[in-house]
Structure 1
C-alpha cells in the first residue's frame, strides 16, 4: 500500500496542478472518481493486466468504459497513465488528489460511524458543531456500525471522538481493572 501511494503521488500532484491551473478542481475530482471506479472494476483490472492489449487499445477501451466528456487534458493524463503502466493506480491517485484538493480548499474529511441512521437535521447539527470545534469545513461520510450499541464515533484526520456506548463501556471496564 505504501509503495502504491509513493508511485501514485507524482501523478496526483500533476493532476492537482493541472486542475488548479485550469480552475477545475471539482470537475477533475468527479472525473477521477469515474476513472478510479472504472480502474477498480474486476473486468477492467483483467484488461489492464492483459499483455495482448496494446497501449492504444487499452487507452481507447478505458476511455470508452469510463465515459465520455473528458477534457483533452484529462484524456492526456489517462494516456500518460496507460503509457507508463500506471492505470491500476487510479484509486490511489484519486485519493491523493482529493487530499490535495481538500487541503487547498481548507476542508477535512470527517468519518462518522453511528449505531443508528442519522436524520438530516441531526447530521447537519453535528456537522455544524464539528466545524465550529475544528475551525474548518468538513466533508462528512456517514456509516452504520451497530456494534457501537449507541452514539457515534467520529474520525477527523488523526483525531477520534468516541461518543459511543461501546466506547464508554470499554473505558469503564479499563477503569475497573485499574
Structure 2
C-alpha cells in the first residue's frame, strides 16, 4: 500500500458508522460560530465529552483538545482566531483528574517511548506537570495576559472529575 492511499481496512468500522450517521444527520444548519460564545480547552482523554459535561450541543462551543489541556502556542493562535472571528467571548480551560500528563514527568515519557519503541522524542515538549493546579493557573494567566486576544473575553478554569462527572471551578 502506498503512503498516499487511504487505508480502508483500518477504518472500515468508522466508514460504516458514518454511513449510518448520515441517515439522521441534523447539523447542516449550523454555522462555524460558537452559538454559546464559548471555547473549551481540554484534554484529549477519551473519557471527556466536553459538550455533554456542561450541557451543550454541537455548534454551541469551540473545542480545543491536546494532551493535558495545556495552553500551547497553537491553542493561543486558535483562541485569537476564535475570539475575533467565531463568536467566542468566554474561554474555559478544563483539565481533568487521573490525567497521565499530571502523573509523570517530561523525562518519564521520553524514556518510556525510547525504551519501548526505540524512538528519541527529546526534541518534543510534552508539557507535563505534576502540579496540575499550578499549571492551570499559569495557563489561565497566559491567556488572560496575551496581548492579541480580543478585549473583554472572560477566561476561567475548572477541573473535571472523570469518576463523578463534576467540574470544580478553579480560583486562580
Q: TM-score, normalised by structure 2?
A: 0.27
Q: TM-score, normalised by structure 1?
A: 0.26
Higher-helix-fraction structure: 1
